[in-house]
Amino acid sequence: MRLGVLTSGGDCPGLNAVIRSVVHRAITDHADEVVGVEDGFLGLIENRTRTLTLDDVHGILTRGGTILGSARVARDRMREAVSRAKELADEVGIDALVAIGGEGTLTAARMFSDAGLPVVAVPKTIDNDIDATDVTFGHDTAVHVATEAIDRLKTTAESHQRVMVVELMGRHTGWIALNAGMAGGAHGILIPERPFDIETVCCMIEERFARGKKFAIVAVAEGARPAPGTMKFEHGGTDLYGHQTFGGIGNRLSAEIERWIGKESRPVILGHTQRGGSPTAQDRVLATRFGWHAVEAAHEGAFGHMTALRSGRIVPVPIADAVARLKTVPESRWIEAEAVL
C-alpha cells in the first residue's frame, strides 16, 4: 500500500511522534510505502510530496513541531480540491491518506472522504476541544507548560502581595485554563464557557486578602469574556478582543483588577510556549498509539474514521461524530474545580 501522511492546522506537540509511528508501523510491519505530504492540504493540492523512510523519522519522537510543515489553504482552492479528490490521490500516488489535524482538518478530511478520497484522520489539539475522544495528544503538554508557569508565579506573587493574571490558550473552550488552573492551584479560573462578572472576580480576590492571604493567581483562557457591561474601565486600542493586539484579555483583566482592588496586578501571556517544544511522555505515547491505529484503519479500509481514545483503548470513530460539536467544559468538571478555588 502507498500511504500518504500530512499534518495540518496549528502546531501541536506530538505531531512528529504520529508521523514516526505511522512510518514504523507501515514500513516495518506492512511493507507499505509512505509518502509525506508537505504543508498539509496545500501540499496535497500542489503535489508536493516526498518519500518517508525509517531514517527520516529517526530522532523526531521527542521533537515538537512537524517535519512535514503545515499551512493554510484558501477556501476556494480547498473546495476545488475536494471536488476532484480522487484525481488528487492518483496524482500524488496514494492509496490512503492519514490526515493529522484539529477540528478544521477533521472537517476537511471528512469532505475529502465524502468525495471519495480514502482518508483516515488522527485528531490533534492542544485545546482538547475535539469530541468523540477522551483526550488527544498536545493538550497534556500545553497544561504541563502552563502549570509550570503558575508554579513559578505563585512565589513571586506571594512575596510581593500581588495578583498575577495568567492568560492561557483556548479561544472557544477553557480546558487548558481549567486543568492548569486546578493543577497550579489558581484562585480564579475564567473560561469561555462561563462569561465572568468582573465584580465577582475582584470580590473573591479582596476576600482572600481580607483573610490574610497575600496573593492571588487568576488563570484566564484567551477566549474568556466578561458578561456584557461588567468591565468598569476602558482598555487598549481599537481591536479590543483580537489575539494580535496589545489588549488581550490577560492585559485588560489585570489592569481592571489593579484599578478595582488597588493592589498591584501583573499579566503573564505564555503564548506559543504552550504549543511548542518536546511533548510530555503521555502525549508521546498517545501520539505513537494513534499512528499505529491509523495505519491499521487504512489497511482495514475504515475510511472516514478517526482514531479515538476511549477508556484507555484506541478505537475508530466516524469523523462525523467528532466534528458534530465542540467539546466544551461540562458543568460536572466546573463544580469539581470550584471547590478548590
Residues between 238 and 297 with contacts to its own copies, criterion CB under 8 A: 244-248, 251, 255, 266-273, 275-278, 280-282, 284-285, 288-289, 292-293
Residues 300-339 that bind its own copies (CB under 8 A): 310-314, 332, 336, 339
Answer yes or no whether residue 104 interacts with its own copies by CB under 8 A. no
Say which amino acid occupies 86. K
Answer yes or no whether residue 122 interacts with its own copies by CB under 8 A. no
CA pseudo-torsion sign 5, 9, 15, 18: negative
C-alpha cell at 142: 500545553
Closest approach of its own copies to the CB of residue 159, in Å: 4
Residues 27-46 that bind its own copies (CB under 8 A): 28-29
Say which amino acid occupies 218. V
Q: Is 127 a catalytic residue?
A: yes
Output DSSP code: residue 65. S
- Rounded CA separation 317/105 (Å): 15
Say which amino acid occupies 273. T
Q: Which one from 127, 129, 140, 283 is the annotated catalytic residue? A: 127
Dihedrals phi, psi of 135, to nearest 5 degrees: -165, 160
Answer yes or no whether residue 340 interacts with its own copies by CB under 8 A. yes
Q: Which stretch binds its own copies (CB under 8 A): 13-21, 91-99, 115-123, 317-325?
A: 13-21
Residue 291, marked binder: no
Residue 225, marked binder: no
Nearer to its own copies, 157 or 298 (CB): 157
Q: Select from 100, 98, 104, 94 the least CA-distant residue to 119.
A: 98
Closest approach of its own copies to the CB of residue 223, in Å: 17
Nearer to its own copies, 40 or 304 (CB): 40
Residue 170, marked binder: yes
Q: Which stretch binds its own copies (CB under 8 A): 22-30, 80-88, 91-99, 108-116?
A: 22-30
Matching residue, cell 491505529: 293
Residue 77, marked binder: no
Q: Which helix (H) or strand (E) holds 269?
A: strand 265-269
51 class by beta-carbon count within 10 Å (0-12 exposed, 13-18 middle, 19+ buried): exposed
Which residue of 88, 97, 145, 306 would you call a contact of its own copies, by CB under 8 A? 145
Binding to its own copies by CB under 8 A, coded x per residue (else -) over 196-225, reads: ------------------x-----------
Residue 73, marked binder: yes
Q: Which residues, in sequence order, are bridge partners of residue 326?
A: 130
Output DSSP code: residue 212. T
Q: Which helix (H) or strand (E) holds 141?
A: helix 139-160
283 class by beta-carbon count within 10 Å (0-12 exposed, 13-18 middle, 19+ buried): buried
Residues 153-192 that bind its own copies (CB under 8 A): 153-161, 164, 179-180, 182-185
Residue 252, marked binder: no
Answer yes or no whether residue 83 interacts with its own copies by CB under 8 A. no
Say which amino acid occupies 152. R
C-alpha cell at 201: 472576580
Residues that constitute the known binding site for substrate: 125-127, 162, 169-171, 222, 266, 272-275
Residues that constitute the known binding site for Mg(2+): 103
Residues belonging to the active site: 127
